[in-house]
Structure 1
Amino acid sequence: MIRNYIKIAWRNLRKQRGFAFINIFGLAVGLACCLLITLYVADELSYDRFHAKADRIYRINADIKFGGNDMRMAVSPDPVGPTLKNDYPQVEQFVRLHERGTWLVKQARAATSLREDHITFADSTLFDVFTLPLVSGDPKRALALPNTVVISESAAKRHFGGQDALGKTLIFDNNKAYKVTAVMRDMPTNSHFRSDFFLTMLNDEYPWGQWLSNNHYTYVVLREGVNYKQFEKNFDAVIEKYVGPQALQAIGSTMDQFRKAGNAYRLWLLPITDIHLHSKQQIEFMPAGDIQYVYIFSAVALFILLIACINFMNLATARSANRAKEVGVRKVLGSERQQLIGQFMSESVLMTVLAMVLALIMVVVAIPFFNTIAAKELSAQSLLSPYLLPVLVVLPIAVGLLAGSYPAFFLSSFRPISVLKGGTATRKTNVSLKNVSLRSGLVVFQFMMSVILIVGTIIVYRQITYIQTTNLGFKRDQVLTINDVYGLGKQAETFKQEVMRLPGVVSGSISGYLPTPSSRNDNSMFPEGQIDQRKAVQMQTWGVDHDYIKTLGMQIAQGRDFSREFGSDSTGIILNETAAKLFGGTNILGKRISRFDDPQGKTFKTYTVLGVVKNFHYESLRRNIGALSMVLSPNSGAASFRLSSTNLPALVKQIEAKWKQIAPGQPFSYQFLEDSFDSMYRAEQRIGTIALTFAGLAILIACLGLFGLAAFMAEQRTKEIGVRKVLGASVFSIVGLLSKDFLKLVVIAILIASPIAWYAMSQWLEDFAYKIDIEWWVFALAGLLAISIALLTVSFQSVKAALMNPVKSLRSE
């Protein structure tokens, strides 16, 4: 029986090639989109699940509200891990990570260093917490001694080629020797942190024991059966016992007084498997994902699949008249309704299986392009994993049954006597009307989803454009940033002066702080002599040189910039407008403010306010501009040069030549400040590109269905069109006659989609402190695009029908 169903189904598909192509191709595109998004979502949900103890690993986060600043940090005080392990038996193990960013690394006897981006200090318990398989070395002893390092296989190949790296020496930062005690496999890409070098924490030059400083990523493993929410309640006691005394010593306030003043200090646990998608903390190891995008893309995959299924149902029910007599004959010859349903379901499943095969080919072809857009390393082979392989088997059957269910039950319900006489095909006269209403509703749903995707894409791109063009408070264009200037040692200033002599270089500055994602240096500052938590201002403090503000194109709102003419400027400070406002705002110039000069809060350093710089964005536009100050301080992290050349590549080569003259063994690494700023919003740019791609595919699938329906309607009204043409109807009037019903449906879809799209995008924009307004013309444009696309699709068939010879039309039977 099944074999017979399949044979007849195959004959019907061959007989109706055009109909079959539209259905199979539309389903294939829908299935391919669904599979690609499934791979994307599966990868996003897999982060950090490769650790054997992933269900028991938690990161300690610190939320602090103090001095006008509300900080939600992924880092915590350095003693919190050891303290929890010592005081609470529920804690099985802990590990701390201290990211040090980029360093220059080379073999002990190598002449040239390599720039390595992922350098991290780690406790010797690293391998007790995380599952990081070693190629060689002992995990228990790898980081137990000073001057030891664990490196990845990739790092070993870069520095030692094919040689065994174990026991060899690497030089970090040009002067620090570390012995390679283990080589680990490269960390998976689906990890919220990655590092090629883990240096022993014993060499981290840090003032340990600081409960008021937050600089370490701390992870704990709780014992089996421990509820982490219940365990979190112990943090109140930890704060009172350990944070309280240091707070009392530093700001003369107990924790109760601290909270009564409107401040807050909170430690809490975040499961490691939630970090990538659910963390909203600052100072993450890497840019985190967003669970909202997982929900959005999952919904998009479902909607695109539904649109493809709707096409099938629309076309199958629309062409029901062509198969009415077939159903009548089969019933007269003794076919049961169940057999007819099985026949039509077989045709549907056969089509979806063929569509799945075509979809898999599409996925294999498209996945490299999708990886480029989504910044992923997905592989089509992942579809064969134990988790996704069942999807490949079940999906075409499920889609086939879903898409074929209504046509099968509808077609099998035809009354044989009526259809063989050419009368009403169904038991009830209003069924055909219901059929038309259903098709209309499905067309509305298709274009409703298409309009929502179009509106979403327009708004995402408008927000990105707003970010790229808004006044940031500094000039980011044509600013060249050269990394790792510390590698020049005492010759850093010489390099700066040499570059300044080149034609096309306007100004230059050396500083480790830039208005892009970079290292932070938060300090609490007080009016001189008033160590009072109510008057404290928590702010970032940047060490800069005399030319920093000029080079970055910032503007002084009050007072003056740093000047070499005043030796006293070494104790001067420049505030941004937010910090100045928190200190009182008026008459701020000349005021003296102090900060702690040692971790214990026993000594202070006092500065005189020289000026106020206009607010500028130094973090993502998702956040409001916080308090910030600048002081003169040597910091050779990076050199920035403002350029005014029409031939930037040639000028960059000249700067590189100066670098190599002064430091021939150091790598020359640079980027433009504009590119660094744009990197903060690459996630949104990727989302916009992916949304645009899938919006286009959704519209394509919807138009395929509309094209098929228009072809069918034109075929059904062939004689009507012929009569109208004989009676003098114009081509334009016939096109309008055939198109207006479809256009009505598209207009209804626009009216329904607009408020839904407005709400969804308003929620998305809530994540940005600085954002665009959603204007009416966005919906008008999306509607116009949808109408234009639908009109072009329908008009092709309408014009074709209108141009047909009426004699031929009237002869057709």
Structure 2
Amino acid sequence: MLRNYIKIAIRNLRKQRGFTFINISGLAVGLACCLLITLYVVDELSFDRFHEKADRIYRINADIKFGGNDMHMAVSPDPIGPTLLKDYPQVENFVRLHGRGTWLVKRAGQPNNLQERDIIFADSTLFDVFTLPLVAGNPKRALTEPNTIVISESAAKRHFGSQNPMGQSLVLDNNLTCRITGIMRDMPTNSHFRTDFFVCMRSDNYQWGNWLSNNHHTYIVLKEGVDPQSFSRNFEAVIQKYVGPQAVAFLGTTVEQFRQAGNRINYWMIPLTDIHLHSKQNIELAPNSDIQYVYVFSAVAVFILLIACINFMNLSTARSANRAKEVGVRKVLGSVQRQLIGQFMTESILMAVLALALALVIVALAVPFFNEISAKQLTVDSLFVPQFLPVLLTLPLMVGLLAGSYPAFFLSSFRPISVLKGKINLGLKSAGLRSGLVVFQFMMSVILIVGTLVVYRQINFIQTTKLGFKRDQVLTVNEAYGLGNQIQAFKEEVLKLPGVVLGSLSSYLPVPSDRSDSALFPEGQIDQSKAVSSQQWAVDHDYIPTLGMELAQGRNFSREFGADSSAVILNETAVKIFGFKNPIGQRVARMVDNEGKVFKTYTVIGVVKNFHYESLRQNIGSVALFMEPSRGSISFRLGGQDIPGLVKQVEAKWRQMAPGMPFNYSFLEDSFDSMYRAEQRVGQIVLTFSVLAILIACLGLFGLAAFMAEQRTKEIGVRKVLGASTTSIVGLLSKDFLRLVLIAILIATPIAWYGMNQWLEDFAYKIDVPWWVFAVAGVAAVVIAFVTVSFQSIKAAMTNPVKSLRSE
């Protein structure tokens, strides 16, 4: 019987090639979109699950409110890991990581450095906590001694080629020489942090034991059976026992008084496997994603697949008139409804299998493009892993059953006598369901159009909003410390180049980087209740003009004032938090030693207008600029037209003055835009799938239009005979579909408005969703629907009425 079903199904598919092509193509595109998004979602959900103890590893976060700043950090004090292991038997192990950004790295005895990113200092327990296999070296001893380092296989090839690096040495920043004691496999891409270098934590020149300084990413492993929520209650005791005494010694206050002043300090744990999608903390080892995007893309995948299945239903129903007599004859000859359902379901599943095969080809071709816009490294091979293979094999069966169920039951229910006498009215049966499916399709299309417009408007707002500084044509030379004592001379030489307008040496630029706040105090009031938690940047005289910042009050640092080394420029937020009504001439103090005993007082000489130095997701915090020497980065404002030529000239100066050092530069505008690459990627992905969803929805509308035109053939013929014009017939056939689209717009508008406002909540600075976005989406849906329907309407209206009436 099954063989017979398949044989008949193949004959029908061949006979109706146009119908077959449209239906299989629609299903294939829908399945391809679903598979691509599934690859993305599965990859996002897999982060950090490759660690053997992943279900018992937790990172300790710190939430601190102090001095007007509310900080949510992925770091915690350096003693908290060892203390928890010592005091609480529920803790099996711990490891601390301290990311130190970009370093210059070279083989010992070699002149040329390579620039390496994300070098991390780690405790010797690293390989006991995380599953990072070594291909050489002993994981128990690899990081136990100072000045030792474990490198990845990729790093080994970069620095040593085919040589064995074990026992050899690398020099970091021309200063720290580390012996290689282990080679690890490259870290998987689905890790919330990645590095090619782990340096022994004991090599880090750090003031250990400070409970008031949060700089380390601390991970603990809980023993089997320990309830993490119950264990988290111990943090309050840790704060009272260890943080309290240091707070009294440093701030002159108890933890209770600290909190009574409106401040807060809390520690809490986040599961390792939640970090990538659920952590919204600052100072992460690497940028994270957001669970919202997983939900959005999962919904898009389901909706696109449903739209493709709905198309199948509509197109199959549209062909029902051609199959009606076949059903009637089969029933007269003895076929029962169950057999007819089996026949039609076989056709559906066969088309789904063919669509899946075509979808896999589409996925293979589309994966490189999808990887480019999603910043992933997905492969089609992931679909054929043992865990996913059952889903892949059952997918055409499920899709075939879902898409073919309604047409099968609908077609098999025809009464043979009515069909053979030509009395069956196919246009009215289940018209409500078909109309509802079209409404659903276009509802989702409108939501996707609105989402795409809002995402791109927010990105445009970010790129065009006034930031408080001028980010265009600012060349930044990074890792300026590679110049050594030549740094000032390099700046002066570059300023002599035609087209270079200004230049500045500074510790930080107004883009995200690895930095933290420190306390400022009003003069004579070294009291935690008066402290202002503030960014403290070392700059020179030319920093403000080079970056195009504006002063709200006072003056800039000047070479004419020797006392400016004891001066400070505050931003407007800092002035507001201090409560200075007349800030110029006010004096503030800051700690200048590591023990909190030596303070230096500075005079406020200027107030710089607020500028954004973090993502627009965050409010502008307090910033204090001090005129101090710095070797962080050098910024040059360029005024010439030949920017690439100027960059080459700057590089030539670098090569002369820093031989063997890599020249690493960027443009401030690019660094700023990099903060929003996740949103840009989401916008591109949503736009791509929106276009595909609309195209698939158009196929469904095309099918329904063909169905309705087929059922109204006689009516159209009569109207033509009575003098109706082509235009009036097109309007008659189109208005029903446009009514459905209007209903879809009405339903989609509040859903889209709510969803996009929820997404915008992540931004402190955001657009309001304007009314015209919904109007544009609605007009676009109407136009798309009208163009799609018009093809069938015009075709029906142009048909010779004599032929139409004769066919009846």
TM range (shorter): over 0.9
Q: 1:770 corresponds to which residue?
A: 765
The Cα offsets for residues 508-541 of structure 1, whole Å up to 9 and x where unpaired, read as: 0112201111121311111112122221111111
Q: 1:725 corresponds to which residue?
A: 720
Distance apart, 1:434 and its partner CA: 4.7
Q: Give the Cα–Cα distance (whole angstroms) in 1 for the partners of residues 140 and 660 of structure 2.
A: 36
Equivalent residue pairs, number: 808
Q: 1:745 corresponds to which residue?
A: 740
| 1:455 aligned to which of 450, 467, 474 | 450
| 2:591 aligned to which of 583, 591, 596 | 596
Does residue 553 in structure 1 map to residue 548 in structure 2? yes
**Gap change, CA 1:658 and 1:667, over 3 Å in 2:** same
* Local SS of the residue matching 1:636: coil
Q: 2:689 corresponds to which residue?
A: 694
Q: 1:214 corresponds to which residue?
A: 214
Q: 1:631 corresponds to which residue?
A: 626
Q: 2:205 corresponds to which residue?
A: 205
Distance apart, 1:735 and its partner CA: 1.6
Does residue 249 in structure 1 map to residue 249 in structure 2? yes
Q: Give the Cα–Cα distance (whole angstroms) in 2 for the partners of residues 796 and 370 of structure 1.
A: 33
Does residue 504 in structure 1 map to residue 499 in structure 2? yes
Distance apart, 1:408 and its partner CA: 1.5
Does residue 468 in structure 1 map to residue 463 in structure 2? yes
Q: Give the Cα–Cα distance (whole angstroms) in 1 for the partners of residues 516 and 404 of structure 2.
A: 62
Asked whether the 8 Å contact 1:77–1:213 carries over to 2, the reply is yes
Distance apart, 1:543 and its partner CA: 1.2
Please provide the CA RMSD for this pair. Answer: 1.3
Q: 1:68 corresponds to which residue?
A: 68
| 2:647 aligned to which of 648, 652, 659 | 652
Asked whether the 8 Å contact 1:19–1:708 carries over to 2, the reply is no
Choose 379-388 or 446-455, whichever is displaced more: 379-388
The Cα offsets for residues 185-229 of structure 1, whole Å up to 9 and x where unpaired, read as: 111111001111111111101111110000000001111111111
Choose 669-678 or 565-574, whichever is displaced more: 565-574
Q: State the AA in 2 paired with 1:688.
A: G
Q: 1:319 corresponds to which residue?
A: 319
Asked whether the 8 Å contact 1:57–1:271 carries over to 2, the reply is yes
* Local SS of the residue matching 2:117: strand
* Local SS of the residue matching 1:195: coil
Distance apart, 1:810 and its partner CA: 4.0
Q: State the AA in 1 paired with 2:589.
A: S
* Local SS of the residue matching 1:563: coil
Q: State the AA in 2 paired with 1:386.
A: P
Q: Give the Cα–Cα distance (whole angstroms) in 1 for the partners of residues 310 and 178 of structure 2.
A: 63
Asked whether the 8 Å contact 1:210–1:599 carries over to 2, the reply is no
Q: State the AA in 2 paired with 1:634.
A: P
Does residue 4 in structure 1 map to residue 4 in structure 2? yes
The Cα offsets for residues 739-767 of structure 1, whole Å up to 9 and x where unpaired, read as: 11111111111111111100000100011
Asked whether the 8 Å contact 1:464–1:685 carries over to 2, the reply is yes
Asked whether the 8 Å contact 1:91–1:220 carries over to 2, the reply is yes
Q: Give the Cα–Cα distance (whole angstroms) in 1 for the partners of residues 728 and 783 of structure 2.
A: 18
Q: 1:396 corresponds to which residue?
A: 396
Q: 1:23 corresponds to which residue?
A: 23
Query: For 1:292-307, what aligned pairs fall within 5 Å after superposition?
Result: 292-307=292-307
Q: 1:443 corresponds to which residue?
A: 438
Q: Give the Cα–Cα distance (whole angstroms) in 2 for the partners of residues 751 and 387 of structure 1.
A: 42
* Local SS of the residue matching 2:103: strand
Q: Give the Cα–Cα distance (whole angstroms) in 2 for the partners of residues 740 and 374 of structure 1.
A: 40
Q: State the AA in 1 paired with 2:440.
A: F
Q: 1:117 corresponds to which residue?
A: 117
The Cα offsets for residues 406-431 of structure 1, whole Å up to 9 and x where unpaired, read as: 22122222222222222237xxxxx9
Q: 1:803 corresponds to which residue?
A: 798
Q: 1:754 corresponds to which residue?
A: 749
Q: Give the Cα–Cα distance (whole angstroms) in 2 for the partners of residues 414 and 720 of structure 1.
A: 22
Does residue 188 in structure 1 map to residue 188 in structure 2? yes
Q: Give the Cα–Cα distance (whole angstroms) in 2 for the partners of residues 319 and 435 of structure 1.
A: 15
Q: Give the Cα–Cα distance (whole angstroms) in 2 for the partners of residues 616 and 510 of structure 1.
A: 18
Asked whether the 8 Å contact 2:427–2:711 carries over to 1, the reply is no
Q: 1:378 corresponds to which residue?
A: 378
Q: State the AA in 1 paired with 2:279.
A: S
* Local SS of the residue matching 1:9: helix
Q: Give the Cα–Cα distance (whole angstroms) in 1 for the partners of residues 615 and 413 of structure 2.
A: 61
Does residue 574 in structure 1 map to residue 575 in structure 2? no
Asked whether the 8 Å contact 2:318–2:703 carries over to 1, the reply is no
Query: For 1:315-354, what aligned pairs fall within 5 Å after superposition?
Result: 315-354=315-354
Q: State the AA in 1 paired with 2:670.
A: D
The Cα offsets for residues 309-337 of structure 1, whole Å up to 9 and x where unpaired, read as: 11111222233232222222222222222
Q: TM-score, normalised by structure 1?
A: 0.98
Asked whether the 8 Å contact 1:513–1:519 carries over to 2, the reply is no
Does residue 539 in structure 1 map to residue 534 in structure 2? yes
Q: State the AA in 2 paired with 1:790.
A: A
Q: Give the Cα–Cα distance (whole angstroms) in 1 for the partners of residues 507 and 384 of structure 2.
A: 47
Q: 1:309 corresponds to which residue?
A: 309
Q: State the AA in 1 paired with 2:439.
A: V
Q: 2:161 corresponds to which residue?
A: 161
Asked whether the 8 Å contact 1:317–1:435 carries over to 2, the reply is no
| 2:615 aligned to which of 595, 617, 620 | 620
Distance apart, 1:653 and its partner CA: 0.7
Q: Give the Cα–Cα distance (whole angstroms) in 1 for the partners of residues 737 and 330 of structure 2.
A: 34
Q: Which runs of 5+ in 1 are unaligned?
A: 426-430
Distance apart, 1:593 and its partner CA: 1.1
Q: 1:238 corresponds to which residue?
A: 238
Asked whether the 8 Å contact 2:35–2:363 carries over to 1, the reply is yes
| 1:640 aligned to which of 627, 635, 642 | 635
Asked whether the 8 Å contact 2:318–2:706 carries over to 1, the reply is no
Q: Give the Cα–Cα distance (whole angstroms) in 1 for the partners of residues 116 and 539 of structure 2.
A: 24
Q: Give the Cα–Cα distance (whole angstroms) in 2 for the partners of residues 788 and 779 of structure 1.
A: 14
Q: Give the Cα–Cα distance (whole angstroms) in 2 for the partners of residues 806 and 645 of structure 1.
A: 72
* Local SS of the residue matching 2:99: strand
Q: 1:428 corresponds to which residue?
A: none
Distance apart, 1:432 and its partner CA: 5.7
Q: Give the Cα–Cα distance (whole angstroms) in 2 for the partners of residues 76 and 251 of structure 1.
A: 19
Q: Give the Cα–Cα distance (whole angstroms) in 2 for the partners of residues 113 and 50 of structure 1.
A: 33
Query: For 1:253-292, what aligned pairs fall within 5 Å after superposition?
Result: 253-292=253-292
Asked whether the 8 Å contact 1:714–1:797 carries over to 2, the reply is yes
Runs in 1 of length 4+ with deviation above 4 angstroms?
Answer: none
Q: 2:482 corresponds to which residue?
A: 487
Q: Give the Cα–Cα distance (whole angstroms) in 1 for the partners of residues 262 and 99 of structure 2.
A: 32
Q: Give the Cα–Cα distance (whole angstroms) in 1 for the partners of residues 600 and 142 of structure 2.
A: 41
Q: 2:656 corresponds to which residue?
A: 661
Distance apart, 1:604 and its partner CA: 1.4
The Cα offsets for residues 122-152 of structure 1, whole Å up to 9 and x where unpaired, read as: 1111101111111111111111111111111
Q: Give the Cα–Cα distance (whole angstroms) in 1 for the partners of residues 791 and 646 of structure 2.
A: 55
| 2:514 aligned to which of 497, 510, 519 | 519
The Cα offsets for residues 649-702 of structure 1, whole Å up to 9 and x where unpaired, read as: 011111111111111211111110000000000000000000000000000000
Q: Give the Cα–Cα distance (whole angstroms) in 2 for the partners of residues 407 and 808 of structure 1.
A: 28
The Cα offsets for residues 367-404 of structure 1, whole Å up to 9 and x where unpaired, read as: 00000010000000000112221111111111111111
Q: Which runs of 5+ in 2 are unaligned?
A: none
Q: Give the Cα–Cα distance (whole angstroms) in 2 for the partners of residues 801 and 521 of structure 1.
A: 70
Q: TM-score, normalised by structure 2?
A: 0.98
**Gap change, CA 1:432 and 1:717, over 3 Å in 2:** closer
The Cα offsets for residues 97-144 of structure 1, whole Å up to 9 and x where unpaired, read as: 111100111111222111111211111111011111111111111111
